[in-house]
């Protein structure tokens, strides 16, 4: 639809870029599922990409969250399957682990998802709105450029 077209027009000819995972962390929700994730190192490429996507979403009538924390989800801790104390203990154990060193990797595409919370079964449902592949590969041996804002 419109979102896919606008994102493709704006981002398809952008170069791929490099990011580095920074730390294991979590989003804790008292009355909903908690999320384990890998955070990203502070990166201008990701910030510029977020700014571009946010502007397009706002122009199309979406109201993206003001809070933006770039991350990669790795697990969902379901409240209905784990006791809250089990979740808290697991999150405590994770937060007390030493920080690991992660390798950088090249970002070749982004997927834009919408998250909807279903009140009847108290679960989140995700729908893929757009998959955008970056069109310009980084030259071999060159430092990847950032996505312009």
- For 31-87, the pLDDT digits (tens) are 677 788 888 887 788 888 888 888 988 998 988 778 888 888 888 777 767 777 887
The predicted pLDDT at position 144 comes to: 42
Give yes or no for a contact between 56 and 10, defined as CB atoms under 8 angstroms apart. Answer: yes
DSSP state of 133: E
The predicted pLDDT at position 149 comes to: 37
Residue 138 has pLDDT above 80, yes or no: no
| Separation of alpha carbons 35 and 74, rounded Å | 8
The predicted pLDDT at position 27 comes to: 80
The pair of structure tokens assigned to 132 is 């955008």
Structure confidence by residue, pLDDT tens digits, 117-135: 777 776 777 888 778 888 7
The predicted pLDDT at position 31 comes to: 67
**Dihedral Cα 116, 11, 16, 109, nearest 10 deg:** 30
Give yes or no for a contact between 102 and 21, defined as CB atoms under 8 angstroms apart. Answer: yes
Q: What is the mean pLDDT of residues 16-24?
A: 87
| Separation of alpha carbons 72 and 78, rounded Å | 18
Alpha helices in the chain (DSSP H): 2-11, 44-59, 84-95
DSSP state of 15: B
The predicted pLDDT at position 148 comes to: 41
43-62 burial: b if 16+ Cβ within 10 Å, else e: bebbebbeebbbebbeeeee
The predicted pLDDT at position 140 comes to: 58
The pair of structure tokens assigned to 145 is 């450029």
> What is the 3-state composition of the chain as percent helix, strand, coil, each rounded to the nearest 5?
25, 35, 40
Give yes or no for a contact between 39 and 22, defined as CB atoms under 8 angstroms apart. Answer: yes
């Amino acid at each position: 639809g419109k979102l896919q077209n606008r994102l493709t027009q704006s981002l398809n000819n952008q170069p791929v870029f490099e990011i580095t995972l920074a730390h294991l962390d979590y989003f804790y929700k008292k009355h909903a599922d908690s999320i384990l994730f890998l955070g990203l190192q502070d990166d201008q490429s990701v910030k510029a990409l977020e700014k571009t996507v946010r502007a397009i979403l706002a122009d199309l009538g979406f109201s993206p969250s003001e809070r933006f924390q770039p991350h990669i989800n790795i697990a969902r801790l379901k409240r209905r399957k784990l006791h809250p104390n089990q979740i808290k203990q697991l999150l405590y154990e994770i937060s007390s682990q030493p920080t690991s060193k992660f390798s950088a990797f090249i970002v070749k595409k982004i997927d834009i998802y919408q998250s909807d919370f279903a009140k009847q079964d108290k679960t989140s449902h995700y729908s893929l709105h757009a998959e955008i592949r970056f069109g310009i590969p980084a030259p071999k041996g060159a430092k990847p450029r950032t996505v312009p804002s």
